[in-house]
Amino acid sequence: PPCNTARNKSTRSVETEENRQNKSHNTAISGSLCPLEKKISSGDTLYIPRGGLPNQPTHPPPRPAPHRRHHVRSPRPGAPGRRPPRRARQARPARRRRRPLFYKPLQALDRGEQELAFYTAFSAHPDVPPRIRDAFFPRFHGTRLLPTAASPGESHPHLILDDLLKGLAAPSVTDIKIGACTWPPRAPEPYVAKCLAKDRGSTSVLLGFRVSGVMVSDPSGAVWRPDRSELKGTDIPGVRRMLRRYVSSAGGDGGGEDCALAAAVYGGEGGVLAQLRELKAWFEVQTLFHFYSASILLSYDANAVTAPGGAPRVKLVDFAHVVESEGVIDHNFLGGLCSLIKFIDDIVSSDKAPPAQS
């Protein structure tokens, strides 16, 4: 009948309008959205990322509410006396272990800025072999403003470097300044005079290096560290005694010069001599930088020097006076490095390393 026809047309018109609205609603949800949190009837939380879920319908199909006796889902947040399962609480991204770092305050005047400039250029220089950069130089992690012991209420820029003594339970360390000349070109005259007096009053001019600091530990916890005055006036026999004592078995003031660890520390495939010779091979060809007043830091763990993986470490430090080489080999540093290699090799090759005579 005509009345039924009109009613059917009206019904179809209403259904068509509802379908159009539903289609528009679905298109809006499946389009580009910010992270959306949608509550569903079961109490779970559904997070829809930008662009919708890939290969999945935007609206999850409805599911019947489970019987309370078989209800195993997590309780609603804040439900008293209930906690999520332990496995679910532990299912989170693993946190990366932080690398032990060393924060070095920038030195006064322009030395700190020069050292920062060197680390910035060296860490990204394409002509530095990755093996040399990773094996013999501290890794640079930028700078940070931190208070210092002298000014705890003020922030001071610090270099962020790898901690070169990380993992050493009983560290034995020696600092050896390399080069017969320790001042850079175009340095002011007062500074040149100061450096020249130090170089002539030590073994820098005679040997091309000098021992700036020593600390010797042993497994018992005893530590031997000479005074600054003792190091300041060290002559060639004194340097030999320092380098022999550095590889002796006993720490403390009563320790001797038995050189019991000379073969383990200085010799071997991964010993100090092998690493210094690898570094020497690079300095024989590198024409990037001149390392004035830089030091070689030797370190090992007295508890693990003879164990697998307990090889000593050889690192370069102190770069406040490094300058560009302008295509010339750094003969000042190379000469001191060769002299140090010869000096240590004599200690290792000596017959049972008899005590040195003054």
Q: Are residues 174 and 315 in the same domain?
A: yes
The last residue of a domain, from among 129, 148, 163: 163
pLDDT of amino acid 256: 75
For the ranges 9-18, 133-142, 312-321, which has the lowest average pLDDT? 9-18
Q: Are residues 216 and 344 in the same domain?
A: yes
Question: Are 248 and 259 a contacting pair, CB within 8 Å?
Answer: yes
Say which amino acid occupies 300: Y
Domains in the chain: how many in total? 2
Provide the residue range defining the domain that includes 268.
Answer: 167-351
Q: Are residues 332 and 197 in the same domain?
A: yes
- Find, among 314, 332, 106, the residue nearest to 199 by Cα: 332
Q: Are residues 119 and 257 in the same domain?
A: no
CB atoms within 10 A of CB 144: 13
As a whole number, mean pLDDT of residues 129-153 equals 94
Q: Are residues 302 and 280 in the same domain?
A: yes
Location of structure tokens 């580009």:
32
For the ranges 11-25, 83-97, 279-293, which has the lowest average pLDDT? 83-97
Residue 215: pLDDT band with limits 50, 70, 90: very high
The last residue of a domain, from among 163, 193, 212: 163
Q: Are residues 131 and 187 in the same domain?
A: no
Residue 107: pLDDT band with limits 50, 70, 90: very high
CB atoms within 10 A of CB 223: 17
Euclidean distance between the first and the last CA atom of the chain, given in angstroms as a whole number: 129
The C-alpha angle with vertex 277 and arms to 272 and 282, in degrees rounded to 5, equals 130
pLDDT of amino acid 296: 98
Q: Are residues 124 and 265 in the same domain?
A: no
Q: Are residues 263 and 217 in the same domain?
A: yes
Question: Are 222 and 252 a contacting pair, CB within 8 Å?
Answer: yes
Hey, what long-range contacts does 139-148 have (CB within 8 A, 24 or more apart)? 141/101, 143/106, 143/116, 144/103, 146/103, 148/105
pTM confidence score = 0.70
